[in-house]
């Protein structure tokens, strides 16, 4: 039974205050009554999240936390006391502690921070840390060009946005390749551009070029159909006007127009028209 993670457990017996679930090694954990449904019966297997309660006893829930052990996530501080900051973790009965020793700056109630959830070996309690660097780049980045990865936006930088790649490495998204709203805590599917000598990973939110051009061509056709079959934007329009309309680069816009022209779907001139 893994503390701080999802477990597939079997209902072993029911009691007035809930049901005891059992794993393959016959370890039991309580699922409180408020999480039981009429459909659940002894012998059923259910997916639950297992954590420690205030007395450090394992307990199960069918609620979904914002992050499990090993994950990074943006969470809001509910309260701060002499022990540390307590985060809204997405669980009704349990907040997540960030000890003062694991805070980069003094956390304030009502504000949100990117943290990493981990199991403290000494106390066997699930806690969080805002000191992200110590959890990253412990392995050599082994990504190939254009590999699809998951990224979490951590902070704004002079170059764009600093991100965490696949929960394991530091990465960078460059501002001049961002054609959508990006906020701290957002998660995206991105594509690897290169692994730098310092081990950091350059990624882009833009799809692989052919996919981008094909998608954009479809959007241009939809735009034309919605605007009487004609638009003033052409390959001579400014990058700003093109980005405002289609959230893309001028380069991709020109390629998409060229594709539609070759397919004889549009005509090009002072305006773009449906053929």
pLDDT band at 1 (very low <50, low <70, confident <90, very high): confident
pLDDT value at residue 227: 93
pLDDT band at 123 (very low <50, low <70, confident <90, very high): confident
pLDDT value at residue 208: 66
pLDDT value at residue 263: 92
Interval 143-178: pLDDT, tens: 988 899 999 999 998 889 999 999 999 999 998 777
Domains observed in the chain: 6-61 (2.40.50.140), 72-134 (2.40.50.140), 148-204 (2.40.50.140), 209-274 (1.10.10.10)
Q: What mean pLDDT do residues 48-68 have?
A: 94
Instruction: Please state the φ and ψ torsions of residue 187, each to the nearest 5 degrees.
Output: -115, 135
First to last CA, the chain: 63
pLDDT band at 209 (very low <50, low <70, confident <90, very high): low
Interval 4-13: pLDDT, tens: 999 999 999 9
Mean pLDDT over the full length of the chain: 92
pLDDT band at 95 (very low <50, low <70, confident <90, very high): very high
pLDDT value at residue 145: 84
Q: What mean pLDDT do residues 205-231 have?
A: 86
Instruction: Please state the φ and ψ torsions of residue 252, each to the nearest 5 degrees.
Output: -65, -35
Give percent above pLDDT 90 in the chain: 77
Higher pLDDT, 205 or 201: 201
């Amino acid at each position: 039974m893994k503390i701080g993670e999802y477990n597939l457990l079997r209902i072993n017996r029911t009691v007035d205050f809930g049901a005891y679930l059992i794993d393959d090694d016959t370890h039991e954990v309580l699922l409180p009554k408020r999480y039981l449904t009429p459909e659940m019966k002894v012998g059923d297997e259910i997916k639950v999240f297992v954590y420690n309660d205030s007395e450090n006893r394992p307990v199960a829930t069918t609620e979904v936390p914002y992050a499990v052990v090993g994950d990074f996530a943006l969470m809001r501080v509910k309260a701060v006391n002499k022990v540390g900051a307590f985060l809204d973790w997405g669980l009704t009965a349990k907040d997540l502690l960030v000890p003062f020793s694991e805070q980069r700056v003094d956390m304030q109630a009502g504000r949100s921070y990117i943290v990493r959830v981990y199991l403290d070996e000494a106390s066997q309690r699930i806690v969080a840390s805002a000191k992200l660097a110590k959890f990253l780049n412990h392995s050599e980045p082994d990504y190939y060009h254009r590999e699809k990865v998951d990224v979490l936006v951590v902070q704004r930088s002079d170059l764009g946005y600093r991100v965490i790649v696949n929960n394991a490495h530091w990465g960078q998204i460059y501002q001049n390749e961002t054609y959508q709203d990006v906020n701290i805590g957002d998660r995206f599917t991105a594509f690897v551009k290169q692994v730098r000598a310092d081990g950091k990973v350059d990624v882009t939110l833009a799809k692989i070029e052919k996919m981008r051009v094909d998608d954009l061509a479809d959007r241009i056709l939809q735009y034309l159909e919605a605007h009487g079959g004609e638009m003033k934007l052409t390959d001579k329009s400014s990058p700003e006007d093109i980005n405002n309309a289609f959230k893309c680069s001028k380069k991709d816009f020109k390629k998409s127009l060229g594709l539609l022209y070759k397919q004889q779907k549009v005509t090009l001139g002072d305006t773009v028209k449906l053929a």
